[in-house]
Every structure is written in C-alpha cells, then in structure tokens.
Amino acid sequence: MNGKKIAKKKQVDFKTDVLKLKISGTHAGKEYKYILDKTDAEKGYNYYCYNSSEWNELQDWANKSTGHERKRKRVNFNGEGLRNMLRSEHIPYNMFFPLAKLQKTNPGLVKQFLEKLIPDIKISQVSKIRIEYVSELDKKELLDDNTSFDAYIEYTDGNKKCGLGIELKYTEKSYPYGNTEEKRLFDEKSEYNQLAKKSDCFNCEFYKLDKRQLKKIKQLWRNHLLGIKLVDVGELEEFHSVHIYPKGNKYQKQACDRYIKCLSIKGKQSFMPVNFERFISVAHDTFGNQNWIEYLDKRYLFENENNN
C-alpha cells in the first residue's frame, strides 16, 4: 500500500471512528468518504476545534488573516478544497491558528518555537501570522502572478524586517503546467528567470533542468522566488522559504532533495524543508501537552517507504 492509500485510510478512519461522521461529501457528482459533507464542514469538522466556540474564533481569524490588508477575501469553508480531508488546504489553519492565539498570550514561547523549528533564524518579535498571504504590495510589483504563501510569518531580528514563507503539502505531488506558467518558467526574459539570475541563489544544475525535471520542483521554486522578490524590492531584509510535508510523502522529500541540489550556497541559506514530525515534536517540546498538538499527531502522521 502506497503512502496516499495509507493516508486515505487514516483520514477515513479518523472521520468515522473519531469524528463519528458517516455522510460522505461529493466531487463531480460522486461521493467520497474522505470529503466532508457541507453540513459537517459548517461545524468545523476538518479542524482541531470542531463544533465549539473556538471554531467561531478560527473562522473570524481566518477572514481577518487571509490575503493582504487591502484585499481581504472571505474564506469559503464549504469549498471543496477545504472539505477534502486528504488535501492540504485546511492544514495551515490547524497549525498556525493556535500559534496566532499563543502569540497574543505568550509571544516568548512562539518565538522559542520558531527559533527551534528554523535554527538559522533569530527573532526579536513576531509581528504577523497570516494565511494565503503575499504582501501589501500589488502583484505587479512582485512576480505578477498568483503565487502566495500557504502561511506567512513576519518578524523582526533587531531592526531587520524578516519573513517566513511557508508552503504545506500533505498527500499532494506535483501539478501540470498552466499555459501562462509554463511560458514564464521557460522564457529567459521572464521575471522568474531574470530574478533567479540576479539573486545568485541557483547553481548550474538548476539551469540544466528539462520540463519533466522542473515540473517536480516548480512550486518550491516559485514560492522561494516570491520571498527573494520581497527582499529584492526592499519589503523584507531577510527571508526563508519553508516547505512542510509529512515523512510519508516521499515525493515531497525527493522534490526537496532535488531542489536543494539546484541551490547555491546563498540559496541554501534561505530554503528550509521541515517535516510534520519535526513540527509536532518541536511544538511538544516548547508548549507541552496541548490539544491541538495531540490532534496534529493523531490525525496527520503517516509513513511508508514505498510512497513514490
């Protein structure tokens, strides 16, 4: 059984045995056990604080924290992506809403957690924890595309303004090229390639990649480039691109390993792969026994060396 099948069984078992839910959600007219019914989704059953007053707090925070300040968008928790227990769209809320709450009550512990999780950073103060975030700048001032961070944490290191741009995967692998995306990726005059060359973050191995090879790492590259651009335009002075995935997703492990081989010494300093297991372990060490940490551990971890 490969990793995705193991994860599928884990999520279906969690839904039926822990959440005690029996109704399946639909996609393209078909029912799937790992997709929540809309009624169950409305009660927050895809989140650690389901069917409670804290679920209302999470929704309120999400609608204040998604997108940038001038372009807020309502989060559709009934959308298919956020009802699918196998996809990653909902997971940033389960990982980072608790951190946003702790940032208000115990910012010192949040600082400790992030410094343990990403050993290369030094934090004076965390100023932002956001979901589906890019910047206050217009996208035309950046990569002029729809790239955004699944989660974004902004902080200061002394007087330096710094950022963590976080991409999160669960069972996902890669995705096909979009027509506009493909053109930008392979056009030497595009913002992507001009910025990559200017940054000195990529080595000769990167420029040898063909379309098949680049497909596996293109999302890592685009998210990394967005952070590089934020530094380039002076929005940040320091940036780290963080790619979070479970150990059981061997595809993402291989993608990270391949991507790192394409980075220069400078590039490696601003890219950090982190697995779910490390995130949860560091959270346990820092915050002690917390319901949301136990929830992450019980719900998401899966391992299988045959997941390719």
Q: Which DSSP symbol is given to 176?
A: P
Q: What are phi and psi of 215, to 5 degrees?
A: -55, -35
Beta-carbon contacts of 111 under 8 Å, excluding residues fewer than 6 positions away, are 123, 125, 126
Supply 308's token pair: 């390719």
Amino acid at 270: S
Supply 259's token pair: 């991507």
Supply 304's token pair: 């299988």
Q: What are phi and psi of 287, to 5 degrees?
A: -105, -10
pLDDT tens digits for the chain (308 residues)?
A: 688 899 999 999 999 999 999 999 998 889 999 999 999 999 999 999 998 999 999 999 999 887 655 566 789 999 999 999 999 999 999 999 999 999 999 999 999 999 999 999 999 999 999 999 988 888 999 999 999 999 999 999 999 999 999 999 999 998 899 999 999 999 999 999 999 999 999 999 999 999 999 999 999 999 999 999 999 999 999 999 999 999 999 999 999 999 999 999 999 999 999 999 999 999 999 999 999 999 999 999 987 544 44
pLDDT value of position 112: 98
pLDDT value of position 69: 53
Q: Where are the domains of the chain?
A: 3-300
- Cα distances from 83 to residues 45, 148, 156, in angstroms, run 9, 21, 35
Cα torsion 180, 186, 188, 189 to 10°: value is: 0
Distance CA 21, CA 31 (A): 14
Q: Which DSSP symbol is given to 307?
A: -
Whether residue 173 contacts residue 127, with contact meaning beta carbons closer than 8 Å, is answered with: no
Q: What are phi and psi of 99, to 5 degrees?
A: -65, -40
